[in-house]
Structure 1
């Protein structure tokens, strides 16, 4: 099984960390093909970054489809471009945010999310509503750690994330916590041991879900919302993204 893992930002060191987390949980025989977006922001923090990450992400999905992968993981907790990516893909496409939420809902009655900056909270809250899991989430908290601080061991990021988890367990009644950034993927196990509640990494969750979907022979439906884009002309900088006849 060949799983395409795409980091929609352009920071290669983060891709390497995410890929290591994915390979740590992948089944024997599953190959993780990690790719860093070739264009876009160095990190995705809010609506503007999210919008400008889409062309690079969709180009990566299209390239991986040409390579014949079995499924895709979008390694941004905002689930950047998830719906659009599904229109390009034959196999399943899973975002780490949606995967993390679903894993949490299966092992805890109430879960919290601890993310990076406050500006990410509205995106996550909207996704929880869209996925029908907002009533299961007791809080979305920001550690006020910038995404790229997660790449700097001297930044104190881990301590701030841990402190926010402790507050959520004590004040919100969180029974599990989802880490709200792909760059936190290497922290889940240690934070679980530290706090005594499940701390969930969406990267591991998404890889596991893609493996399960592929193993059961399920693919992305092409009837309705995720049908392939209709061929038409695009202009300007987006001309190379114009859908063509298959």
Structure 2
């Protein structure tokens, strides 16, 4: 199968790192095509950044139509542009947060999220409510690690994330940790070994769920609000993105 992996920020280094993490868990027959928007923020650390990131996701899904990907993965824990992407293609579209929440809920009665900037915790809270996981998510913890710092995540950052996860497990009485940033994907195995609980990376979870959906022959419904966008004029730089 052909998997389109979209990093919604404009950092080429982070795109490469996320792609490596996706390929590490992908099945032998899965081709991972990694891309990023042609505009927008270098990292997504707030509502303002997310608006441009969502538009970038829509841009990449539209431009990738000739490739006919079998599934699309949005590699940002805010799942920016997820609903728009599902309108723009009938391929399954998975966000890392939604995928991680589903997987965590299958492994523990409650989970905690450990993410980057504290200011983005409210975005994760909104997603927990949107996806209906408020009874399973017992806490969301910010580390105030800048997203781009994860490109060179060394022992100090790993220790900081581990400490936050241990605090979350103790305070929230949770049984699993969800990593709240696609840039943390490469740390998942080490953290799981050290913490002794399931640690879920949304990138890996989304890759495997995408493979399962494709294997089942399932597509995004075009009945109702995920129907193909209505034809209309798009102006300015968005002109090529209209139907």
Answer yes or no: is 1:26 the counterpart of 2:33: no
SS at match of 1:135: coil
Question: Residue 186 of structure 2 corresponds to which residue in structure 1?
Answer: 186
Q: 1:93 to 1:134 in 2, by over 3 A?
A: same
CA distance in 2, matches of 1:101, 1:149: 24
Deviations 1:52-101 (A, max 9, x none): 11222111111222211101000000001000000001210000000000
Q: 1:204 to 1:154 in 2, by over 3 A?
A: closer
SS at match of 2:64: helix
Superposed counterparts of 1:5-24, under 5 Å: 5-24=5-24
CA distance in 1, matches of 2:115, 2:147: 9
Superposed counterparts of 1:40-119, under 5 Å: 40-119=40-119
Q: CA deviation at 1:20?
A: 1.0
SS at match of 1:174: coil
Residues 143-152 or 154-163, more deviating:
154-163
CA distance in 2, matches of 1:152, 1:30: 27
SS at match of 1:156: helix
**Aligned partners of 2:61 and 2:85 also within 8 Å:** yes
Q: 1:104 to 1:84 in 2, by over 3 A?
A: same
Answer yes or no: is 1:145 the counterpart of 2:145: yes
CA distance in 2, matches of 1:155, 1:51: 33
CA distance in 2, matches of 1:78, 1:132: 15
Q: CA deviation at 1:241?
A: 2.5
User: So what's the TM-score if we normalise by structure 2?
Assistant: 0.97
**Aligned partners of 2:96 and 2:205 also within 8 Å:** yes
SS at match of 1:90: coil
**Aligned partners of 1:149 and 1:155 also within 8 Å:** no
Q: CA deviation at 1:105?
A: 0.2
Deviations 1:122-148 (A, max 9, x none): 111111111111110110000111101
**Aligned partners of 2:117 and 2:142 also within 8 Å:** yes
Question: Residue 197 of structure 1 corresponds to which residue in structure 2?
Answer: 197
SS at match of 1:177: strand
For structure 1, the 5+ residue unaligned runs are none
Aligned residues, how many?
243
CA distance in 2, matches of 1:39, 1:193: 38
Question: Residue 214 of structure 1 corresponds to which residue in structure 2?
Answer: 214
Q: CA deviation at 1:154?
A: 5.2
Please tell me the root mean square deviation across aligned C-alpha atoms, in Å.
1.2
Q: CA deviation at 1:155?
A: 8.4
